[in-house]
């Protein structure tokens, strides 16, 4: 146990720290020192009302802003390394999120994610807009399991909530700078300005860049890299302790070169089929990171760029209706534009893909929450979503292959309306019963005069569906700091239509059974949560590229079909142990057993009983953090962590081909020096020490891949 002198020194350092969030963290750290390392409670809003994470009866991971900075997480892809049973990748610059094996691989304008992605409660529909950089975040909440009641449609996998830091009452700010290999640069600045007793402003901006991770091979053109910028301005009007209005303007620009892939043969051997689109009976061969990262064929010398912009305006008004209820009205407008040219080896020869267009979405949510402490607490609301999308995209081959152009020019309209409510009744002091319900009406229509052919005929399509979802749950306090819970809930993802014929596919539905335990043990030194789940997954939507007629890409498109039903079950454990005030261990374990029931993806292959895609049998993380307190009051913190991930499949269902990514390990290490006043820090880090290159996505003839080993320095100051 640290001496009282050390504890007092930490407390004095905390009081000298002006940033209010960091002051609070330091005070908690100082208190922890005096009490031999208890863990601070975390408040979340996962159920649309503020409550401790340890009292929220669902599978939930919470990542604080400091944790994200320490881990080097700069966008949603990094969450793969930070939460159990979560796998987040990109496909041609669009985000793909898999939670417990539930994922949507359709990142085109006709597709929707299976995970509800929200920023300060505002839903972000387009996957390209979800890939914006993390900027001045208070925390991220990752909800695992279908969220059909409070979050609604397209949340069969779960929800990811980004919660930003809001304006405060003190003048303060910070600047963080990072440099590393691959010419990586990361600069972030934040300033908080209290204008008067009513108005406070908070502005944040960042720039992130790095050169391509790929080896160019014979290429002279630019390959996939990163050059992102983002900015946000919050204006918070506090009219009274119970009435406030938050206005937000935000803009992000995802730039650099367009997405690039590497050939299938960098990882697998097999017999080429469909003009090299796939390999029959592929066998993984570890040729080493240098070969795996090489873009082995010469891409089309037509330039490469990415200039995707997302601009959002958000409004959140909160007020009290006395003892009756609290009212919240949220409005958000998001405009996203895409201007991207991707290079790759598609369909067996060099090909480039241009994507241009824009989308516009509007969301409204009016919500009432019960006020005060009472036996019956509740939340109820209505929701409206309206989205319009235009895309102009082409796939163009270049010599030496046949000259082919596949043009698409779709206009898509999405609309969704919902009403929802959730009641929680407290039976005595220990038992709570919850009932939630949501009814949703979805409509999607589309028109494309080209649909992959310069001469048409294109398609006109319209689908609509209605669905009611529910949640039944009970949670019980075994002890003041230990809770058990059980639930049955449903989730629903809207149906749609395909981009070549307009042929429809049905919605997918999940029924989930879940039981878990959450608690703080050993004098509040250990925070632990565990859950077991079972899914009955019906009409799961599978997406792949399908070519009809010849195999030379002259009539190809992204095809989504409803596979047969499947089941998924698993266990998750997550925890933090403060061994002492200076020694902390973080750990997690997730298992997933997801298998198709009777399923034939085509006329010749049978995948019945096989594992579903993106669902490794296990994933586990373990990290150890040690803090050394120097006589001056400065600290040196060392961190080492590793993640083990089981094997998983990435498949092309139309051709019956399954590529198996073997199990892998990725480890990180970092050392951070913090000044006695806590106002400056310097950190050195290495990520993915093993230099493990993993498969992220599949396109005809190629893979999108994960990041290699990286290292760098980060420094920051605050006032």
- Count helices and strands in the chain by DSSP H and E runs: 4, 46
pLDDT of residue 584: 95
pLDDT digits (tens, 9 = 90+) for 106-163: 888 888 889 999 999 999 988 888 877 789 999 999 999 999 999 988 899 999 999 9
List Cα–Cα distances, 242 to 316, 317, 507, in angstroms.
13, 11, 41
pLDDT, mean of residues 434-463: 91
Predicted confidence (pLDDT) at residue 606 exceeds the cutoff of 90: yes
Q: What span, in angstroms and rounded, lies between the C-alpha atoms of 145 and 152? A: 12
Closest C-alpha among 233, 194, 277 to residue 698: 277
List Cα–Cα distances, 693 to 103, 661, 665, 702, in angstroms.
21, 10, 10, 14
pLDDT, mean of residues 15-30: 34
| Lowest mean pLDDT segment, chosen from 51-65, 515-529, 545-559 | 545-559
Which residues on adjacent β-strands are paired with residue 469? Answer: 438
State what percent of residues in the chain have pLDDT above 70. 91
Predicted confidence (pLDDT) at residue 275 exceeds the cutoff of 70: no
Question: How many separate domains does the chain show?
Answer: 1
Q: What span, in angstroms and rounded, lies between the C-alpha atoms of 189 and 63? A: 20
Crossing angle for the helix pair 4-15 and 20-34, to the nearest 10 degrees: 170
Predicted confidence (pLDDT) at residue 6 exceeds the cutoff of 90: no
Q: What span, in angstroms and rounded, lies between the C-alpha atoms of 259 and 263? A: 14
pLDDT of residue 548: 54
Asked if residue 93 belongs to a domain, the reply is yes
Angle at 327 between CA 322 and CA 330, to 5 degrees: 160
Q: What span, in angstroms and rounded, lies between the C-alpha atoms of 11 and 592? A: 44
pLDDT of residue 491: 93
Sign of CA dihedral 421, 234, 15, 188: positive
Q: How confident is the model at residue 655 (pLDDT cuts 50, 70, 90)?
A: confident
Asked if residue 17 belongs to a domain, the reply is no
Predicted confidence (pLDDT) at residue 535 exceeds the cutoff of 90: yes
pLDDT of residue 154: 85
Q: What span, in angstroms and rounded, lies between the C-alpha atoms of 205 and 134? A: 10
pTM greater than the 0.75 cutoff: yes
- Highest average pLDDT, of 83-97, 269-283, 426-440, 536-550, comes from 426-440
Neighbours of 189 (CB within 10 A): 16
Asked if residue 5 belongs to a domain, the reply is no
Provide the domain limits for residue 322: 37-718
Predicted confidence (pLDDT) at residue 619 exceeds the cutoff of 80: yes
What is the CATH number for 52?
A: 2.40.170.20
pLDDT digits (tens, 9 = 90+) for 579-603: 999 999 999 999 999 999 989 988 8
pLDDT of residue 5: 35
Closest C-alpha among 710, 2, 704, 714 to residue 353: 704
Angle at 661 between CA 656 and CA 664, to 5 degrees: 165
Q: What span, in angstroms and rounded, lies between the C-alpha atoms of 153 and 160? A: 14
Predicted confidence (pLDDT) at residue 254 exceeds the cutoff of 70: yes
Q: How confident is the model at residue 27 (pLDDT cuts 50, 70, 90)?
A: very low
Predicted confidence (pLDDT) at residue 508 exceeds the cutoff of 60: yes
Question: DSSP string of 29-52?
Answer: HHHHHHTTS-----EE-TTSS-EE
Closest C-alpha among 118, 159, 139, 168 to residue 40: 139
| Lowest mean pLDDT segment, chosen from 62-66, 155-159, 486-490 | 62-66
pLDDT, mean of residues 272-287: 86
State what percent of residues in the chain have pLDDT above 90. 66
The mean pLDDT value of the chain amounts to: 88
Which one is predicted more confidently, 20 or 403? 403
Predicted confidence (pLDDT) at residue 304 exceeds the cutoff of 90: no
Predicted confidence (pLDDT) at residue 553 exceeds the cutoff of 70: no
Asked if residue 26 belongs to a domain, the reply is no
pLDDT of residue 488: 97
pLDDT, mean of residues 522-536: 94
Asked if residue 687 belongs to a domain, the reply is yes
Predicted confidence (pLDDT) at residue 675 exceeds the cutoff of 80: yes
Predicted confidence (pLDDT) at residue 382 exceeds the cutoff of 60: yes
Q: How confident is the model at residue 544 (pLDDT cuts 50, 70, 90)?
A: confident
pLDDT digits (tens, 9 = 90+) for 328-376: 999 999 999 999 998 876 666 677 889 999 999 999 999 999 998 889 9
pLDDT, mean of residues 49-68: 87
């Amino acid at each position: 146990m640290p001496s009282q002198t050390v504890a007092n020194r930490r407390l004095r350092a905390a009081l000298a720290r002006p940033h209010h969030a960091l002051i609070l963290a330091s005070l908690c750290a100082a208190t922890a020192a005096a009490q031999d390392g208890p863990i601070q409670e975390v408040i979340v809003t996962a159920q649309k009302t503020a409550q401790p994470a340890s009292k929220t009866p669902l599978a939930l991971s919470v990542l604080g802003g400091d944790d994200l900075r320490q881990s080097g997480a700069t966008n949603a892809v990094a969450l793969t390394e930070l939460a159990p049973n979560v796998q987040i990748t990109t496909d041609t610059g669009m985000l793909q999120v898999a939670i417990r094996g539930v994922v949507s691989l359709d990142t085109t304008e006709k597709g929707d994610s299976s995970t509800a992605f929200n920023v300060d409660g505002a839903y972000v529909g387009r996957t390209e807009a979800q890939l914006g950089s993390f900027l001045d975040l208070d925390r991220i909440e990752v909800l695992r399991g279908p969220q059909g009641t409070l979050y609604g449609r397209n949340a069969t996998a779960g929800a990811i909530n980004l919660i930003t830091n809001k304006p405060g009452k003190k003048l303060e700010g910070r600047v963080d700078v990072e440099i590393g290999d691959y010419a990586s640069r990361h600069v972030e600045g934040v300033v908080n300005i209290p204008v008067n007793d009513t108005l406070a402003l908070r502005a944040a901006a960042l720039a992130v860049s790095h050169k391509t991770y790929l080896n160019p091979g014979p290429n002279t053109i630019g390959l996939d890299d990163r050059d992102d910028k983002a900015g946000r301005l919050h204006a918070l009007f506090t009219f009274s302790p119970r009435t406030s209005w938050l206005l937000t303007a935000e803009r992000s620009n995802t730039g650099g070169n367009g997405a690039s892939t590497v050939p299938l043969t960098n990882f697998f051997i097999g017999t080429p089929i469909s003009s090299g689109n796939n390999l029959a009976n592929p066998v993984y061969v570890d040729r080493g990171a240098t070969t795996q990262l090489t873009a082995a064929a010469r891409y089309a010398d037509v330039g490469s760029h990415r200039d995707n912009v997302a601009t959002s305006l958000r409004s959140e008004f909160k007020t009290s209706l006395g003892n009756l209820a609290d009212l919240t009205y949220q409005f958000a407008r998001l405009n996203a534009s895409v201007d991207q040219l991707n290079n790759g080896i598609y369909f067996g020869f060099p090909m480039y893909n241009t994507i241009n267009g824009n989308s516009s979405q509007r969301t409204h949510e009016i919500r009432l929450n019960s006020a005060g402490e009472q036996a019956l607490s509740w939340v109820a609301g209505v929701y409206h979503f309206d989205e319009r999308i235009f895309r102009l995209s082409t796939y163009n081959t270049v010599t030496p292959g046949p000259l082919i152009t596949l043009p698409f020019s779709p206009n898509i309209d999405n609309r969704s309306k919902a009403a929802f409510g959730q009641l929680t009744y407290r039976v005595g002091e220990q038992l709570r019963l919850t009932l939630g319900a949501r009814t949703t009406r979805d409509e999607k229509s589309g028109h494309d005069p080209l649909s992959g052919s310069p001469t048409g005929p294109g398609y006109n399509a319209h689908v609509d569906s209605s669905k009611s979802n529910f949640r039944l749950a009970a949670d019980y306090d075994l002890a003041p700091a230990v809770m058990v819970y059980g639930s049955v809930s449903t989730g629903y993802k809207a149906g749609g239509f395909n981009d070549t014929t307009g042929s429809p596919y049905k919605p997918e539905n999940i029924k989930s059974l879940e039981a878990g335990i959450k608690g703080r043990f050993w004098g509040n030194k250990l925070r632990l949560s565990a859950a077991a789940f079972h899914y009955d997954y019906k009409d799961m939507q599978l997406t792949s590229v399908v070519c009809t007629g010849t195999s030379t890409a002259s009539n190809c498109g992204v095809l989504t079909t409803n596979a047969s039903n499947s089941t998924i079950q698993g266990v998750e454990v997550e925890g933090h142990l403060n061994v002492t005030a200076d020694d902390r261990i973080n750990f997690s374990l997730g298992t997933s057993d997801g298998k198709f029931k009777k399923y034939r993806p085509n006329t010749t292959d049978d995948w019945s009983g096989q594992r579903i895609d993106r669902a490794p049998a296990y994933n586990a993380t373990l990290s150890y953090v040690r803090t050394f307190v120097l006589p001056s009051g400065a600290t040196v913190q060392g961190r080492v962590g590793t993640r083990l991930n089981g094997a998983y499949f990435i498949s092309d269902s139309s051709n019956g081909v399954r590529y198996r990514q073997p199990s892998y390990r990725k480890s990180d290490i970092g050392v951070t020096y913090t000044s006695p006043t806590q106002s400056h820090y310097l950190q050195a880090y290495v990520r993915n020490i093993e230099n493990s290159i993993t498969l992220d996505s599949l396109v005809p003839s190629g893979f999108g891949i994960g990041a290699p080993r990286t290292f760098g320095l980060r420094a920051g100051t605050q006032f």
